[in-house]
A and B are shown apart, each in its own frame.
Chain A
Amino acid sequence: MAIRFLNKQPAVQQLSDEELVSKFSATQQQTYFEELYRRYMHLAYGVCLKLMKNEDESRDVVSDVFKILFLKLPNADIKSFKAYLYTVSRNECIAKLRHRKSESEKLAKYNHLENSPGDFMENDGFAALFNANPSMEQAVEKAVGQLGEEQKLCIRLFFYDDKSYREIATETGFTEKQVKSYLQNGKRNLRILLEKEMRKHTT
């Protein structure tokens, strides 16, 4: 009984993406792949919808993407499953768009996307660094002050006042797309400024 207890495996739902990839690679058991499919299939479909602008084609591409992942995962050196999925999804869409003769003009727009891993922000390590250095709180305030006006305004409304994209759009007159863009760029710039500040502290 004790041995059974010690050997008890966590449910697949409790495993991280990278643990699922690792276990799938080691055992080839579909249970692990199925969980990744369940977690991400709808997101891969949304990414394909954005590029393909067609529901049926997007369904086909998502199916191809997961077939590719099924074959490649066991031998791939993957640091982040979602970043990998994102790259494969976009590359498959671009490949399909290339085969649409009438879509060739769109290539100019997508060429730069191919093989680009996207700009995923992994906050875990960054937040841990902050927690080890409480004096950084002031640095955050200072860094927010250094942002451009639009980014600063959106960051304050979103993070200080807990407003949604829509509420910020209503308040500022920006579109919701602009709000999201200002927030994404503002957060990226904040991170760059704070990393610089941290380097000052550590040297």
Chain B
Amino acid sequence: MDGNLHQQIFRPTACVSQGELRQYLSGSISREGLRRVEDHLLDCPLCSDAVDGFEESGEHHSDELEDFDAFRKKLPLQSTGRVRQLQPGGYLRQAVAVAAMLVVGAIAYFSFSKSPTGPELYAKYYNAYENDIPVSLRRPGLSDVDPNFAQGLTAYSERKFSQANMLFERAIQQQPDNEAAKFFAGLSYLEVNQTNKASAYLSAVANGTGVYSKKAAWYLIMCDLKSDNKASAKARLDKFVQAGEIMVLEAKDLREKL
């Protein structure tokens, strides 16, 4: 053992590089490299889970992953940070291109200056929330599932929203703190165009800190769009984008449209 014991145990180590990972997984890593990697895996869940992932899948290389040049094409912005050199001979061509773009832009502006309505944006961005929670998880901490809630979820899955609403209302009456029932009630009311009720339930959930709060915040925006209240949708969307975490790309895209 080199150095003091505490230095040995608590020495800082860097994450596993792609080359080291390849050698580690193939068993061709040096003794010293093996020590370094195994020592680091004790401190770093990112590397530890990554190694587990490769080992469990039997995939022992990551060479076929997309390189940055390929990935770059998928990015919404193209700020490469590189300065493009203008060719003197191309000035005229560029001036003509700019003029042409201005003409096309002006035509497009006058033809399509009407911005999309809230319901149009709703139709584009709304995706029904899939009831993906198994019965055992619907009421965390409780052994028996409220039958109204369980039947409500079944009706929701079958897109029988009026029936689902009736059942969720009963479930909420029984259990006023049932966050999931309020969330699904909000979604069901949204589906049947009762946006005031949808908004009330979704707001209650979004203002809380439960597992559905962020999702409810997104569907509240959908609720505003459906009732063509774009100003409210925009205000909520600004907060939503700032908080981030879910629906990041869609939210940013929608904000640009609004």
Residues of A within 8 A of B (CB): 27-31, 34, 37-51, 53, 55, 58-59, 62-64, 66-68, 70-72, 75-76, 82-83, 85-86, 91, 95, 98-99, 101, 104-105, 107-108, 111, 114-115, 118-124, 126-127, 130-131, 136-137, 140-141, 155, 158-162, 164-165, 180, 183-184, 187, 190-191, 194
| Most A Cβ at <10 Å: residue of B12, B49, B52 | B49
User: How many interface contacts (CB-CB < 8 Å) are there between A and B?
Assistant: 198
**A126: which B residues are within 8 A, CB to CB?**
10
Q: Which of B39-47, B141-149, B175-183, B185-193 interfaces with chain A?
A: B39-47
| Most A Cβ at <10 Å: residue of B45, B48, B79, B133 | B45
**B15: which A residues are within 8 A, CB to CB?**
39-40, 43, 82
Contact status A38-B68, CB under 8 Å = yes
Contact status A49-B71, CB under 8 Å = no
- Interface assignment of B158: CB less than 8 Å from any CB of chain A: no
Residues of B within 8 A of A (CB): 1, 4-13, 15-18, 21, 34-35, 38, 41-54, 56-57, 59, 62, 65-66, 68, 71-72, 74-77, 79-81, 130, 132-134, 136-137, 211, 242, 244-246, 248-249, 252
Least CB separation from A29: chain B residue? B81
**B81: which A residues are within 8 A, CB to CB?**
27-31
Query: Contacts A75-B242, A118-B46, A159-B1 given: A124-B77 contact, CB under 8 Å?
Result: no
A3 to B6 CA separation, bound complex (whole angstroms) = 44
Contact status A29-B44, CB under 8 Å = no
Contact status A162-B137, CB under 8 Å = no
Say how far A22's CB is from chain B's closest CB, in angstroms. 15
Least CB separation from B44: chain A residue? A120
**A83: which B residues are within 8 A, CB to CB?**
46
Contact status B66-A43, CB under 8 Å = no
**A44: which B residues are within 8 A, CB to CB?**
46, 50
Contact status B77-A91, CB under 8 Å = no
A101 to B16 CA separation, bound complex (whole angstroms) = 34
Q: A49-B56, A70-B75, A118-B45 are in contact. List 17 more A-B contacts (CB 8 A).
A: A29-B81, A40-B46, A50-B50, A51-B53, A58-B53, A72-B248, A82-B44, A91-B245, A98-B132, A101-B132, A107-B132, A107-B133, A107-B134, A121-B43, A137-B4, A137-B6, A183-B42
A111 to B54 CA separation, bound complex (whole angstroms) = 22
A104 to B157 CA separation, bound complex (whole angstroms) = 14
A-B contact pairs, 22 of them (CB 8 A): A29-B81, A39-B15, A41-B62, A43-B50, A44-B46, A45-B62, A46-B54, A47-B49, A47-B53, A48-B53, A49-B50, A62-B66, A68-B248, A70-B75, A75-B244, A83-B46, A99-B130, A115-B245, A127-B12, A160-B1, A164-B38, A190-B9
